[in-house]
């Protein structure tokens, strides 16, 4: 073991087309042109790794805004040996503007009212490109 290896990333994404389904009343809302930002980091020490990320999608409906509607967080921990990674991941999503009724549009921006979370244990087999 040669010490702790740190990695970080910033991901910017654009959704050229897409839609959100609202069930009460039944409506499909066009969110084409929306974007998201993700910031993440991971540390590894020998075969052990731990990390996580935070992703904020900003759904656009009536013009361009900077008003986020939810935060999706992940926490990841496990071991990696060669091309095999065995880990545990917790993912949760929370509204940025809480305590509003269901899903609604407020001044042209989607405002969800939900919290969600799940955990999973995974086995990933992959190839890393080295230079």
Which residues touch 127 (CB under 8 Å, ≥6 apart)? 83
pLDDT value at residue 99: 43
pLDDT tens digits, 10-23: 999 998 887 777 66
Write out pLDDT tens, residues 21-40.
766 667 777 778 888 899 99
Q: Is the pLDDT of residue 5 over 60?
A: yes
pTM of the model as a whole:
0.73
Q: Which regions of the chain does DSSP assign to beta strands (E)? A: 4-15, 19-23, 26-30, 34-45, 48-58, 70-81, 84-95, 104-106, 109-111, 116-125
Structure-model confidence comparison of residues 79 and 116, the more confident one: 79
pLDDT in tens, 48-83: 999 999 998 887 766 676 777 778 999 999 999 999
**Most confident option among 55-59, 102-106, 122-126:** 122-126
């Amino acid at each position: 073991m040669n010490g702790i290896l740190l990695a970080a990333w910033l991901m910017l994404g654009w959704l050229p087309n897409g839609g959100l389904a609202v069930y009460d009343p039944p409506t499909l809302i066009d969110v084409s042109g929306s974007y998201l930002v993700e910031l993440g980091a991971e540390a590894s020490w020998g075969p052990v790794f731990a990390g996580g990320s935070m992703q904020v999608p900003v759904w656009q409906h009536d013009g361009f805004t900077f008003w986020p509607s939810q935060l999706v967080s992940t926490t990841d921990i496990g071991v990696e040996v060669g091309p095999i990674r065995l880990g545990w991941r917790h993912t949760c999503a929370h509204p940025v503007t809480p305590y509003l009724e269901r899903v609604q549009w407020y001044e042209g921006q989607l405002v969800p009212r939900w919290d969600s979370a799940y955990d999973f244990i995974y086995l990933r087999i992959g190839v890393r490109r080295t230079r």
